[in-house]
Amino acid sequence: MKVAVVGATGMVGEVMLKVLEERNFPISELLLVASERSVGKKLTYKNEEFTVIGLADAVAAQPDIAIFSAGGDTSLEWAPKFAEVGTTVIDNSSAWRMDPTKKLVVPEINASELTAEDKIIANPNCSTIQLVMALDPLHKKYQMRRVIVSTYQSVSGTGVKAVQQMENEAAGIEGEMAYPYPINRNALPHCDVFLDNGYTKEEMKLAREPQKILDDRTFSVTATAVRIPTAGGHSESVNVEFHNDFDLAEVRTILSETPGIIVQDDTANNSYPMPIYANGKDDVFVGRIRRDETQPNTLNMWIVADNLRKGAATNAVQIAEYLVENNLVSNTSETVS
């Protein structure tokens, strides 16, 4: 595959290169793409040095696959230009997620929806991916009615500038602010922008994207998204009301048997998911599994994942792998490892 990584100099882009390398994705030619500010900059992949190019040059090279992690505006403008020259775009921004003509894919759940005609494929929001990974198998068994999720999100979810703000504040250095307030030793109930309904855009992503991924509008999700001063992953407190009753041991078995999920739930030994352990891993960790004693058929759990891996890069690369394995990209004959 001739592969373009758009946003290669960013927080997600850096992890994308790592994941492509670790999984030995079949790349015959690699194009590293960023804004005009970074053109000419050198990046390494598999110990080889690559020069960053601009978007127009990348389109002209007609890659088979372009993985975008460069913000919604860049995707809106440039993803269709790549699609026009035959490239399959996998997009990490929110630009196309709720477009009814585009698929929103978590491979473990709905990769089978993909066809060769899908030229722009959306990667869900990072906090949505880890949520639906745990909800999907439970929904199939007990049928969800309503989900209440509160997130504790890593600054790495905002990008390079936010991690720098946290590090500057911890070191007592004045610098550029990615957030309207200090983040170190703070909690901001403010992820992405506020909307007219009083929710943030992040909260509405959590409310809407799961219905599209699970292709089911019979359940609802309400969310509060909070930014906290961690860097390794997002955590979520999740309360799920089902139509049918469940058995806690069976819930643990279902989750343990779901590919991509690790149940870490041994409170007697203080074992539960935390961003410090999820950091750098591809799995979604679930723990603190317990019955909500205030109403029937309701479960509480705690879900943690590395937002840059399963929440972004790993999920996108898994989509690319599915496309290649199922001959859904144009130039499969060219594959070289």
Ligand X SMILES: NC(=O)c1ccc[n+]([C@@H]2O[C@H](COP(=O)([O-])OP(=O)(O)OC[C@H]3O[C@@H](n4cnc5c(N)ncnc54)[C@H](OP(=O)(O)O)[C@@H]3O)[C@@H](O)[C@H]2O)c1
Is 217 labelled as part of a ligand binding site? Answer: no
Q: Which is nearer to ligand X, 38 or 220 (CB)?
A: 38
In angstroms, what is the minimal distance from the CB of 260 to ligand X?
A: 17
Q: Which is nearer to ligand X, 55 or 323 (CB)?
A: 55
Do 148 and 238 meet the contact criterion of CB atoms below 8 Å apart? yes
The angle subtended at Cα 67 by Cα 136 and Cα 15, nearest 5°, is 80
Say whether residue 12 binds ligand X (CB under 6 A): yes
Is 185 labelled as part of a ligand binding site? Answer: no
Burial class (CB in 10 A: 0-12, 13-18, 19+), 220: middle
> Is there a catalytic annotation at residue 126?
yes
In angstroms, what is the minimal distance from the CB of 145 to ligand X?
A: 28
Q: Which stretch binds ligand X (CB under 6 A): 34-42, 43-51, 183-191, 265-273?
A: 34-42
Q: Which is nearer to ligand X, 161 or 291 (CB)?
A: 161
Q: Which residue is nearest to ligand X (CB)?
A: 10
Is 37 labelled as part of a ligand binding site? Answer: yes
Question: Which residue in the set 5, 11, 132, 255 belongs to the binding site for ligand X (CB under 6 A)?
Answer: 11
Is 165 labelled as part of a ligand binding site? Answer: no
Quote the distance between the C-alpha of residue 222 and its chain's center: 19
Is 330 labelled as part of a ligand binding site? Answer: no
- x-marked contacts with ligand X along 40-69 as a string, rule CB under 6 A: ---------------x-------------x
In angstroms, what is the minimal distance from the CB of 304 to ligand X?
A: 14
Is 291 labelled as part of a ligand binding site? Answer: no
Q: Which is nearer to ligand X, 74 or 151 (CB)?
A: 74
SS3 readout for the chain = CEEEEECCCCHHHHHHHHHHHHCCCCCCEEEEECCHHHCCCEEEECCEEEECECHHHHHHCCCCEEEECCCHHHHHHHHHHHHHCCCEEEECCCCCCCCCCCEECCHHHHHHHCCCCCCEEECCCHHHHHHHHHHHHHHHHHCEEEEEEEEEECHHHCCHHHHHHHHHHHCCCCCCCCCCCCCCCCCECCCCCECCCCCEHHHHHHHHHHHHHCCCCCCEEEEEEEECCCCCCEEEEEEEEECCCCCHHHHHHHHHCCCCEEECCEHHHCECCCHHHHCCCCCEEEEEEEECCCCCCEEEEEEEECCCHHHHHHHHHHHHHHHHHCCCCCCHHHCCC
Give the CB-side neighbour count of residue 304, counting CA atoms within 13 A.
Answer: 26
Say whether residue 88 binds ligand X (CB under 6 A): no
Give the CB-side neighbour count of residue 106, counting CA atoms within 13 A.
Answer: 29
Q: Which is nearer to ligand X, 255 or 303 (CB)?
A: 303
Is 9 labelled as part of a ligand binding site? Answer: yes
Question: Which residue in the set 5, 206, 308, 320 belongs to the binding site for ligand X (CB under 6 A)?
Answer: 308
Question: Which residue in the set 4, 5, 7, 213 belongs to the binding site for ligand X (CB under 6 A)?
Answer: 7
Q: Which is nearer to ligand X, 26 or 71 (CB)?
A: 71
In angstroms, what is the minimal distance from the CB of 295 to ligand X?
A: 33
- x-marked contacts with ligand X along 141-180 as a string, rule CB under 6 A: ---------------xx-xx--------------------
Quote the distance between the C-alpha of residue 62 and its chain's center: 26
Contact footprint for ligand X (CB under 6 A): 7-13, 34-35, 37-38, 55, 69-72, 74, 92-93, 126, 156-157, 159-160, 307-308, 311-312
* Residue set of the binding site: 9-12, 37-38, 97, 153, 156-157, 227, 307
* Residue set of the binding site for substrate: 153, 227
* Residue set of the binding site for phosphate: 97
Residues forming the active site: 126, 234
